A = this chain, B = another copy of it.
C-alpha cells in the first residue's frame, strides 16, 4: 500500500477537490450544584449572537486532535488544571454541520459531553463576556430532552439548544447502563449522594431503599470505603457509609429509569 507511486503522489499533492470548512468543538459540561443539574454557558462577547448565551467551544488547532481540543476548551473556560481535569469524564457526543448553522461560514462542530463533580465557578475565556453554571431546568427544555422551547428565558445561540438537548438525553441514558454517575460525585461518596445525582439528572425521585440495594448489589459499581460520614443529616438521621467507585464501567443489569415507557434512547 505504500509504494513509490504513492510517495510521488503525496509529494505532489495539492488540495483541490474539497470544500473549505471550519471545524469547532462545542462542549456540554454538566455538573450538579445544590441538587440541581447545571450546564456551563458563556455569554458571547463578539458577533454573531453577541450577548447571547451559548455552549463554550472554539476552533480546533491546526494539528490538534479533537479530544485534545475539547479538553483545552474545557480548561480555558473553567480554569481547571490538568490534574483536576483528569477527574472529568469527556466523551464525543455528535457532530453538527448543517449549512447556515453559523452565519459567518460553513462550520462543522464536533460536540463533546463532559461530566464533572462540583467544579468551581468558571472563568470567562477570551471570547466570552461571562461564564456561568446555569440550572438546566431554567432553560425550558422539555422533559424528554426535546429542543428548547421558543419562549424560554435564556435563549441559546446557533443550534445549541439542540446540542444541549442531545447532551442531556445522552447523560440520562448513560446513567442507566454505565457507572458514570460516580463521575459526578467526588472520590468518596455516600449512596444517598449518588442517588441525588440520579435524581438530578433524571429529574425524578427514586425509592431510597430499593436504590441502595440495587447499587450495592450490581458488581463493580461501588465498593465500600469502610468509613462513615462524620455527621448525620442537618436535621437528624443516621450517618451514611462511604463508598468509592468500583472497577466496572457498565452496569449489569441496568438501572432503569422509572416512568418511561417509550422514550427514544440517544446515540
Residues of A near any B CB (own CB < 8 A): 1, 5-6, 9-10, 13, 15, 17-23, 47-52, 59-66, 91-92, 94-95, 97-99, 103-106, 108, 110, 155, 157, 170, 174, 177-178, 220, 248-250, 252, 261-267
A106 pairs with B1, CB closer than 8 A: no
Assembly CA distance A5 to B104 (angstroms): 14
B105 pairs with A108, CB closer than 8 A: no
B94 pairs with A62, CB closer than 8 A: no
A252 pairs with B248, CB closer than 8 A: no
15 more A-B contacts (CB under 8 A) besides A5-B50, A108-B108?
A1-B155, A6-B47, A6-B48, A10-B104, A18-B22, A19-B23, A19-B59, A23-B97, A63-B99, A63-B106, A65-B97, A108-B110, A250-B262, A252-B261, A267-B267
Q: Which partner residue on chain B sits nearest A248 by CB separation?
A: B262
Q: A22-B18, A22-B19 are in contact. Are A50 and B108 (CB under 8 A)?
A: no
Interface centre among A51, A98, A108, A266 (most CB of B within 10 A): A108
Q: What B residues does A62 contact at CB under 8 A?
A: 19, 106
Assembly CA distance A49 to B20 (angstroms): 23
A267 pairs with B174, CB closer than 8 A: yes
Shortest C-beta distance, A105 to chain B (Å), equals 5
B15 pairs with A105, CB closer than 8 A: yes
A65 pairs with B98, CB closer than 8 A: yes
Assembly CA distance A250 to B267 (angstroms): 12
Assembly CA distance A18 to B49 (angstroms): 18
Q: Which of B19, B61, B105, B263 contacts A19 (CB 8 A)?
A: B61
Shortest C-beta distance, A156 to chain B (Å), equals 10
A-B contact pairs, 9 of them (CB 8 A): A10-B47, A15-B104, A19-B22, A19-B23, A63-B99, A66-B108, A95-B95, A220-B262, A252-B262
